A and B are shown apart, each in its own frame.
Chain A
Amino acid sequence: MADEKDMQREPPKEPQPDGASKPASGSKEGGESPKKGAEAATPKPTPPAGTVSKPSTTATTAKPTAPATPKPTPAGKTVAKKKTRLDYRVHTWPHLVRSEFLVAIGALIVLTIWSILVDAPLEDPANPNRTPNPSKAPWYFLGLQEMLVYFDPWIAGVVLPGLIIMGLMIIPYVDINPKGNGYYTFKERKFAITVFLFGFLVLWVSLIIVGTFLRGPGWNFFAPWDKWDPHKVAALTNVNLSYKVGIRDDFIASIFGGAVVIGYYLLGVIYYLIMRNRSEVLQKLGVVRYSIVAFLFLTMMALPIKMILRWTLNIKYIWVTPWFNI
């Protein structure tokens, strides 16, 4: 009885069936991917119910679930449809609760053993007059500290972190690709996944690793086998881009730098103008969403670009002005 009551309550909580089965528009997009996804994510629909020892439960888990799900959708329509994920539902107790419990126990055991074996660090008492070299931020911020090598603090420490947070929050509103919702796929959303993984693994995680293990005194670079020599002298031969191309006048240099930076962002505009009529994706995206994506993407790519410019050409700043340098 409670079971039934619960199932009657369930449908309103699960809005997708309603939304997705708006027959005309939804089915074209949805026709392909959900089928694929359903096969991928629910390859063994029966076993969980089947493995339960009591025959009575097997019957009850399998039976009432199936009729319960088509309810929310307009009658008749879904009956003929392929089974959705909601047709393969199991009781939370024990199927989910059991895994959660085991994972929690496992994690607590690992954490306890780890805490017995490894002590939290505690150095000498705080002394404002004795600055350690190197001074490092907590490890999870070392990606940001590493960016300080390439950008001034107002960019690396304030603007970029702000843009990372804003950019992450904006993702769902600018990624309008309806595919790949609720299952793993690379094929159906190559751009989104590539960009995200590049940002996360290359620009965030690997910079943390560099900052943690490869940066020593003076924030100089040390290979893992090098000894941290506090007297290591790194040649400061970096020059500004304008100097590199032969501009000596400050005023002209800042005009030039501005032109380069603005030109860089104009790439996004040019790409839009060229592709506008050729790419369906761009048209669907619309100019506002596109601008946001292009701005965030180009800003993100500015970091690896500047890193490479530094390594290859010893470029210090791209744009020098009396107020700020980029």
Chain B
Amino acid sequence: MPKLPLPKLRLPERSDFEEMKQQIVESQVWRSIFRHGYEDTPRNRVLAVLDNVWLHLHPTKLPVHGTKLRFTWCMGGLTFLMFLVTTVTGVFLMFYYRPTAEYAYNDIKYLEFDVPFGMIMRNMHRWAAHAMVITVWLHMLRVFLTGSYKPPREFNWAVGVMLLTITLLLSFTGYLLPWDQLSIWAVTVGTNMARATPVLGHEGPFAPPSIITPSSDVRFMLLGGTIVGPSALLRFYVLHCIFFPLLAGGLMMLHFWRVRKDGGISGPL
């Protein structure tokens, strides 16, 4: 009935975009997800950490030096990041890889040449794994140099050493999976050591010869055979994709928890 009014000139300070943003931010859905505003208030700074499942692993406040790269080198964080990268890319690789002597090598070739983004996923998985080995060593070096293993953090250092060992084992078990010449011989060299285990390896000192034979010693148990063959591939696959990642994940939770419970990042008192 009434004439439609002419569209008013928009005021410059409130654009469509801002209006839309406001509507979204004030919607029930948004506010159910992000419970606090974005305004930079001390309260929100605290809430940003406390209310966030990922960030709440941090304290809400920390000593200044704890934020400095020159103190932590961010090496623990980078180690964790590399672990996450290998987890994500590793899941991708698992979609295409079958741990049998017939298929393994061809599946890697298939990943490299036919699967979209297969090559870069494989590369990132490999290089992140190697980077993780380096960062975990550097992290240990930094923790040593700052004396951060001293009381009350003794136990967390021990947890760290376990993580270091598992990191190496993760990398080592993964090394076999491409099932190429590099893999099997590197793993052969590595697992040959187990032959020489005192008492438990058939070439080790004090091994009772009638009981500990090439097909009953620790190396046999590790490989499921006397050579690095199909059963070793399957074993390493299961260890690599299930056992060690879960163990590493569990120990990392413990590790991060202890960093907090031992009084936060170490520092001069």
Tell me which of B125, B205, B268 contacts A323 (CB under 8 A).
B205
Q: Which residues of A lie under 8 Å from residue B49 when comparing CB positions?
A: 91-93, 97
Known contacts A16-B263, A41-B268: A6-B157 contact under CB 8 Å:
no
Shortest A218–chain B CB gap in Å is 14
- What 1/0 mask marks residues of chain B from 134 to 145 whose CB sits below 8 Å from any chain A CB? 000100110011
Query: Which of the candidate stretches A137-145, A223-231, A278-286, A289-297 sits at the interface with the other chain?
Result: A137-145
Contact at B171–A85, with CB atoms within 8 Å? no
For the complex, is B78 an interface residue (Cβ under 8 Å from A)?
Answer: yes
Once the chains are docked, how many angstroms separate the CA of A154 from the CA of B267?
41
- What 1/0 mask marks residues of chain A from 125 to 139 whose CB sits below 8 Å from any chain B CB? 111101110011111
Contact at A90–B42, with CB atoms within 8 Å? no
Q: Which residues of A lie under 8 Å from residue B128 when comparing CB positions?
A: 111
| Beta-carbon contacts under 8 Å, A212-267 to B | none
Tell me which of B147, B162, B268 contacts A189 (CB under 8 A).
B147
Contact at B180–A128, with CB atoms within 8 Å? no
Of the four ranges (under 10, 10 to 19, 20 to 34, 35 or more), the interface on chain B belongs to 35 or more
Q: Which residues of B lie under 8 Å from residue A40 when comparing CB positions?
A: 268
Contact at B78–A103, with CB atoms within 8 Å? yes
Known contacts A126-B105, A132-B185, A157-B196: A118-B85 contact under CB 8 Å:
no
Shortest B252–chain A CB gap in Å is 16
Known contacts A41-B268, A115-B127: A15-B263 contact under CB 8 Å:
yes
For the complex, is B58 an interface residue (Cβ under 8 Å from A)?
Answer: yes
Contact at B161–A88, with CB atoms within 8 Å? no
Contact at B124–A111, with CB atoms within 8 Å? yes
Of the four ranges (under 10, 10 to 19, 20 to 34, 35 or more), the interface on chain A belongs to 35 or more
Shortest B129–chain A CB gap in Å is 10
Q: Which residue of A lies closest to B77 (CB)?
A: A100
Once the chains are docked, how many angstroms separate the CA of A231 from the CA of B171?
33
Q: Which residues of A lie under 8 Å from residue B59 when comparing CB positions?
A: 10, 13, 92
For the complex, is A180 an interface residue (Cβ under 8 Å from B)?
Answer: yes
Contact at B43–A128, with CB atoms within 8 Å? no
Query: Which of the candidate stretches A53-61, A269-277, A305-313 sits at the interface with the other chain?
Result: A53-61
Once the chains are docked, how many angstroms separate the CA of A185 from the CA of B147?
9
Once the chains are docked, how many angstroms separate the CA of A58 from the CA of B221?
63
Once the chains are docked, how many angstroms separate the CA of A278 from the CA of B150?
26
Once the chains are docked, how many angstroms separate the CA of A302 from the CA of B94?
44
Contact at A169–B269, with CB atoms within 8 Å? no
Tell me which of B63, B152, B179, B229 contacts A88 (CB under 8 A).
B63
Contact at A122–B180, with CB atoms within 8 Å? yes
Contact at B205–A91, with CB atoms within 8 Å? no
Tell me which of B55, B81, B228 contacts A107 (CB under 8 A).
B81
Q: Which residues of B lie under 8 Å from residue A124 when comparing CB positions?
A: 180-181
Once the chains are docked, how many angstroms separate the CA of A36 from the CA of B268?
8
Contact at A183–B61, with CB atoms within 8 Å? no
Shortest B34–chain A CB gap in Å is 13
For the complex, is A120 an interface residue (Cβ under 8 Å from B)?
Answer: yes
Contact at B123–A168, with CB atoms within 8 Å? no
Q: Interface majority SS on A: helix, strand, loop or mixed?
A: helix
For the complex, is B66 an interface residue (Cβ under 8 Å from A)?
Answer: yes
Q: Interface majority SS on B: helix, strand, loop or mixed?
A: helix
Known contacts A89-B61, A196-B144: A3-B46 contact under CB 8 Å:
yes
Known contacts A89-B64, A90-B64: A30-B269 contact under CB 8 Å:
yes
Known contacts A1-B43, A138-B175, A154-B196: A125-B269 contact under CB 8 Å:
no
Known contacts A128-B229, A182-B148: A2-B47 contact under CB 8 Å:
yes
Once the chains are docked, how many angstroms separate the CA of A15 from the CA of B126?
41
Once the chains are docked, how many angstroms separate the CA of A119 from the CA of B64?
41
Q: Which residues of A lie under 8 Å from residue B47 when comparing CB positions?
A: 2
Tell me which of A141, A171, A183 contacts B267 (CB under 8 A).
A183
Q: Which residues of A lie under 8 Å from residue B63 when comparing CB positions?
A: 42, 85-86, 88-90
Residues of B within 8 A of A (CB): 40-43, 45-50, 55, 58-67, 69, 71, 74, 77-78, 81-82, 85, 101, 105, 108-109, 112, 119-120, 122-128, 130-131, 133, 137, 140-141, 144-154, 157-158, 161-162, 164-165, 168, 171-172, 175, 178-186, 188-190, 192-198, 201, 203-206, 227-229, 260-264, 266-269
Contacts A13-B260, A123-B180 given; 14 further ones with Cβ under 8 A? A3-B60, A13-B264, A15-B263, A20-B269, A34-B268, A85-B63, A97-B49, A122-B109, A124-B181, A132-B181, A136-B189, A140-B168, A182-B148, A182-B268
**Which 8 A-B pairs give the minimum distances between C-beta atoms?**
A37-B268, A157-B193, A153-B196, A172-B154, A115-B123, A182-B266, A324-B205, A120-B126
30 A-B residue pairs with CB within 8 Å: A7-B61, A14-B263, A14-B264, A38-B269, A56-B41, A60-B42, A89-B64, A92-B55, A92-B58, A93-B55, A103-B69, A104-B78, A107-B81, A111-B124, A115-B127, A122-B109, A123-B180, A125-B179, A132-B185, A153-B195, A154-B201, A157-B194, A159-B198, A168-B157, A169-B158, A172-B151, A177-B150, A181-B266, A193-B144, A200-B137
